[in-house]
Amino acid sequence: MRDELGAEVPLTGPPRRVVSLVPSITEAVAVSAPGRLVGATEYCAHPADLDVSRVGGSKYPVVESVLALAPDLVLANAEENRPDDVARLRERGVPVFVTAAPESVPAGLESLRRVLVDCLGLGVPDWWWKAASRWEGTLVRRWTAVIPVWRRPWVVLGGRTFATDVLRRLGVANAYADLADRYPRPKLPELVARFDSGAADLLVLPDEPYRFTGTDGPEAFPGVPSALVSGRHLTWYGPSLVEAPDVLLDQLAAAGR
């Protein structure tokens, strides 16, 4: 078996002791294969009752803590986890399956299918089929948005990102979708100019990775309609995709009230 970056994953059978370093993958595995997970990062907050050993953060996992759990598979992501940590685990003989950063909802679902079916030897779970069905269509465009994911400095969603495709399917175009950079860092005056020129008419503010709130984010864009949205439903590709359309559409609609 090879992972999504082409590296060999030397599994000898379906893994029974899995450590996940990616929150959305953690949730997918925990829901689909209860009992397989033995470790996850501090940021793996779902399911809410997940009771496994914690091994540090996604960017900075404690490799020795991972090794102490004697996993027969570690799940990682090319964008969320550092190559050096993956290399250290492999040097110690631990199989690591690294997923690519998905650029669309179908790509995210297919990535999870590989993890659950090809790696863990499961059947495709019911929630996967429900999520795939819910995201088949695309709504007519209603807004063009600027979507910050960080401030100090400002970082926004660019093109070829999972969240950009999520919003596109919900009728929200990304004002920075034409840029090759997945996470551009425009200065605040440039962002404001997008609204002044009419190139954008909605500010979308997720609560992760930066926790934007009603008093932290909108004040930088006076007079601009803003929608505070769930970062998990916007950026995670797992069981949350089943309810994400309803959650996000309700939060987006609130911007026009």
- Tally of domains within the chain: 2
Q: What is the tens place of the pLDDT at every residue in 149-159?
A: 999 999 999 99
For residue 183, give its domain range: 139-256
Kindly state whether residues 94 and 151 are assigned to the same domain.
Answer: no
Give the pLDDT of residue 57: 86
Residue ending a domain, among 106, 133, 160, is 133
Kindly state whether residues 144 and 241 are assigned to the same domain.
Answer: yes
**Predicted confidence band at 256 (pLDDT cuts at 50, 70, 90)?**
low
Whether the per-residue pLDDT at 2 is higher than 80: the answer is yes
Spatial distance between the Cα atoms of 18 and 31, rounded to a whole number of angstroms: 13
Kindly state whether residues 164 and 112 are assigned to the same domain.
Answer: no
Q: What is the tens place of the pLDDT at every residue in 6-32?
A: 999 999 899 999 999 999 999 999 999
CATH of the domain at 213: 3.40.50.1980
Q: What is the tens place of the pLDDT at every residue in 96-131?
A: 999 999 999 999 999 999 999 999 999 999 999 999
Q: How many residues comprise the chain?
A: 257
Give the pLDDT of residue 180: 85
Helix (H, G, I), strand (E, B) or coil at 8: strand
Q: What is the pTM of this model?
A: 0.94
DSSP alpha helices (H): ranges in the chain?
A: 23-32, 63-68, 83-91, 105-113, 126-134, 162-169, 188-196, 231-235, 244-253
Q: What is the tens place of the pLDDT at every residue in 238-250?
A: 999 999 999 999 9
Kindly state whether residues 35 and 95 are assigned to the same domain.
Answer: yes
Kindly state whether residues 228 and 156 are assigned to the same domain.
Answer: yes
Asked, for residue 8, whether it belongs to a domain, the answer is: no
Asked, for residue 7, whether it belongs to a domain, the answer is: no
Q: What is the tens place of the pLDDT at every residue in 173-190?
A: 999 999 889 999 999 999
Give the pLDDT of residue 206: 98
Kindly state whether residues 78 and 155 are assigned to the same domain.
Answer: no
Kindly state whether residues 129 and 150 are assigned to the same domain.
Answer: no
Asked, for residue 54, whether it belongs to a domain, the answer is: yes
Asked, for residue 10, whether it belongs to a domain, the answer is: no
